A and B are shown apart, each in its own frame.
Chain A
Amino acid sequence: MDARLANTWRLTVNEKKFIESALLSGIRVDGRNPYEFRKLSIKFGREDGSSEVQLGHTHVMGFVTGQLVQPYRDRPNEGSLSIFTEFSPMADPSFESGRPGESAVELGRIIDRGLRESRAVDTESLCVLAGKLVWAIRIDLHILDNGGNLVDAANIAALASLLTFRRPECSLGGENGQEVIIHPPEEREPLPLIVHHLPVAVTFGFFGSESILVIDPTHHEEAVMTGRMTATLNANGDVCAIQKPGGEGVLQSAIMQCLRIASRTASDITKKIKDTVEAYNTERALRKIKRHPTSIALDGSANVKVEQEGFVGNKGANELPKKHMGSSRLVSEESTSQSNDCDGGTKSSGLGGNSRRNDGTTNFVGEPASWNINTQEEATRLDR
């Protein structure tokens, strides 16, 4: 409550009247249409499961971490999903560090309802050992800058980090198959979470009794608005959650109109999230390629990358890390069954790659030759 009041205190009466009267003529202070969202940008951090979302001036970071815990007694074969919000005092002078205030709790619960109750994340796949060990996924949302409409930005940050989070693969072992072995990411590729659909939150602001409604209110509009509603929808047209916590009364027809607008906006935002996550996954796969040390020493290293990307485009990002890991194992002279299996594949793809590269530039002559230099015996041995 203090946050809301502090917000209104910092706006003068003139500013409030100006915003209200501009809205009566359908003009918003930042020049947007009433049903237009602000510019959205999603970035990812170095670690899997960290995202940074900017919606206009609002800046939110999301982090996803996983831990093996005991499941709840009434749900022995389901993992859990919990959301924690941190309203940093640097975001807004009215935020205080320490115990989350009312708006922090409400934001956490809106996102929690949208994700958990609508079964967006598959919790049954998080079970490792029924009744004993399950994955507890924890989403931390840090508000860095409050430019208005924290709910939507935080929701997008949560979704983006959930889609890029990878949990280590576990397998059962030990004497009676009851011991859980967690494989480090170097040994086995970590797995993504199973996300069935993306519930996107869209917030509306209601002004006065003239039933003016705007989408994605800014900080100043939030100080002036008399009511708000957050509708969480997915791209399939399902309503996942609605939160209209009191405030100005609106007609039922206005609510249905809001849901229709929200449905359109939600599909746009879903597409944007999916595109950025796709780009991140491709880039991540490229990063996983273990580059041979001498390849970097070649001049025209930019060409190395270009050719690698061409390679990826033809073979597919998922196949690439395995094959190249196999070849790097050959180089380091560790022969495991895994590398033996994909040896033939690596050899042929290496050959194919070689020819393609030789067509490209002459700089590459060095690279395949250096492989052959180190693994002369293996190359002949594997020539089956």
Chain B
Amino acid sequence: MEYVSPEGLRLDGRRPVEMRQLRAEIGVVAKADGSAMFEMGNTKVIAAVYGPREVQNRSQQITDQALVRCEYSMANFSTGDRMRKPKGDRRSTEISLVIRQTMEACILTNLMPRSQIDIFVQVLQADGGTRSACINAATLALADAGIPMHDIVTSCSAGYLNSIPLLDLNYVEDSAGGPDVTVGILPTLDKVTLLQMDAKLPTDTFEDVMQLATEGCKAVANYIREVKTSFFCLIVIWDLCYNYC
């Protein structure tokens, strides 16, 4: 099957190095300390952050650090066929572990000892790249909750089909059986924190694909910074109006 036409257009009309449309919204879950909704094309996820709060299970308390917990689940209706087990299956457990360790790398856990930070990520629409969208949503939610981080984490995926590196795969391209590289970076430090890859690739090709995914991550980082500044400006204005009117 042809995933890139001879004119250089992919199945959804994008160019190989073009990302899908990004859309983010902060404060979607009113009860949570911080929440965000992130869309990458048709993939839509919501992240909610509760914390820092008291550790619920005393035996798991860490005396010098905050405990970070993460739960990833896909809604039953998120994929084409109704899913039987939205969480607790092996894929969800692995992705929960991966997101938790990725966010732990950027949260300044030393500033909040003996406390707990919960990150809940729910996939509402799955069209490829759910892992990346979850990490981006979690970053925004953590920023919304005011949790101190030493850098944001952004993530993007890339693949290699018809001998062309493609950025930001959707579900059809992902299930083609070609390689799928997911990268998560700390943009300011320019360091790679998350890197996952499956299927076979020669090492030099892998380097190109990883480079492409990193560029995608930087583009997401620029978008997130825009969203944050505009959102926080709005918050300040709203706060001022509320207090002085």
The interface of chain A, by Cβ under 8 A from chain B, is: 1-2, 5, 102, 105-106, 108-109, 113, 117-119, 227, 229, 233-234, 237-252, 255-256, 259-260, 263
- Tell whether B101 is near chain A: CB-to-CB under 8 Å: yes
- Tell whether B103 is near chain A: CB-to-CB under 8 Å: yes
Given contacts A108-B90, A109-B94, contact A238 B203 (CB under 8 A): yes
B197 touching A259, Cβ below 8 Å? no
- Tell whether B24 is near chain A: CB-to-CB under 8 Å: no
10 closest cross-chain pairs (CB), A and B: A246-B101, A249-B191, A246-B102, A244-B195, A242-B197, A117-B198, A249-B193, A118-B200, A245-B98, A105-B93
Sample of 8 more A-B contacts, CB < 8 Å, known A109-B91, A252-B192: A1-B60, A1-B69, A105-B94, A240-B200, A242-B195, A244-B193, A245-B98, A250-B192
Of the residues B98, B190, B191, B200, contact of A119 by C-beta under 8 Å? B200
- Tell whether B171 is near chain A: CB-to-CB under 8 Å: no
Q: Mark B183-195, 1 if CB is under 8 A from A, else 0.
A: 0111001111111
B102 touching A245, Cβ below 8 Å? yes
The interface of chain B, by Cβ under 8 A from chain A, is: 60, 62, 69, 90-91, 93-94, 96-105, 181, 184-186, 189-203, 206-207, 210-211, 214
Residues from chain A with Cβ under 8 Å of B94 in the complex: 102, 105-106, 109
Of the residues B100, B185, B192, B202, contact of A238 by C-beta under 8 Å? B202
A139-B91 Cα distance, complex, nearest whole Å: 18
Closest chain A CB from B218 CB (angstroms)? 12
Residues from chain B with Cβ under 8 Å of A2 in the complex: 60
B191 touching A109, Cβ below 8 Å? no
Residues from chain A with Cβ under 8 Å of B201 in the complex: 238-239
A77-B186 Cα distance, complex, nearest whole Å: 44
B103 touching A249, Cβ below 8 Å? no
A239 touching B60, Cβ below 8 Å? no
A245 touching B211, Cβ below 8 Å? no
Given contacts A105-B90, A229-B195, A252-B211, contact A246 B203 (CB under 8 A): no
A244 touching B60, Cβ below 8 Å? no
Question: Interface of chain A, helix or strand or loop or mixed?
Answer: mixed
Given contacts A2-B60, A237-B203, contact A244 B105 (CB under 8 A): no
Of the residues A105, A109, A233, A255, contact of B195 by C-beta under 8 Å? A255
A242 touching B191, Cβ below 8 Å? no
B199 touching A118, Cβ below 8 Å? yes
Closest chain A CB from B113 CB (angstroms)? 14
A255 touching B210, Cβ below 8 Å? yes
Query: Across the two chains, which residue of chain B brings its CB closest to A107?
Result: B94
B193 touching A5, Cβ below 8 Å? no
Query: Across the two chains, which residue of chain A brings its CB closest to B175?
Result: A74
Residues from chain A with Cβ under 8 Å of B190 in the complex: 251
Interface centre among A102, A238, A245, A263 (most CB of B within 10 A): A245
Residues from chain B with Cβ under 8 Å of A229 in the complex: 195
A249 touching B186, Cβ below 8 Å? yes
B202 touching A239, Cβ below 8 Å? yes
Q: List 29 A-B contacts (CB under 8 A).
A: A1-B60, A1-B69, A1-B100, A102-B97, A105-B93, A105-B94, A109-B90, A118-B199, A119-B200, A227-B105, A227-B193, A233-B203, A238-B203, A239-B201, A241-B198, A244-B192, A244-B193, A245-B101, A246-B98, A246-B99, A246-B100, A246-B104, A247-B104, A247-B193, A248-B193, A249-B105, A249-B193, A251-B192, A255-B192
Interface centre among B91, B99, B198 (most CB of A within 10 A): B198
Residues from chain B with Cβ under 8 Å of A234 in the complex: 200
Closest chain B CB from A12 CB (angstroms)? 14
Closest chain B CB from A202 CB (angstroms)? 13
Query: Across the two chains, which residue of chain A brings its CB closest to B204?
Result: A237
Residues from chain B with Cβ under 8 Å of A245 in the complex: 97-98, 101-102, 194, 196
Residues from chain A with Cβ under 8 Å of B193 in the complex: 227, 244, 246-250
A243-B197 Cα distance, complex, nearest whole Å: 7
A57-B194 Cα distance, complex, nearest whole Å: 29
A233-B104 Cα distance, complex, nearest whole Å: 28
Closest chain A CB from B63 CB (angstroms)? 11
A238-B90 Cα distance, complex, nearest whole Å: 26
A246-B98 Cα distance, complex, nearest whole Å: 6
Closest chain B CB from A287 CB (angstroms)? 36
A264-B103 Cα distance, complex, nearest whole Å: 32
B202 touching A237, Cβ below 8 Å? yes
Closest chain A CB from B172 CB (angstroms)? 14
Given contacts A5-B60, A256-B207, contact A246 B192 (CB under 8 A): no
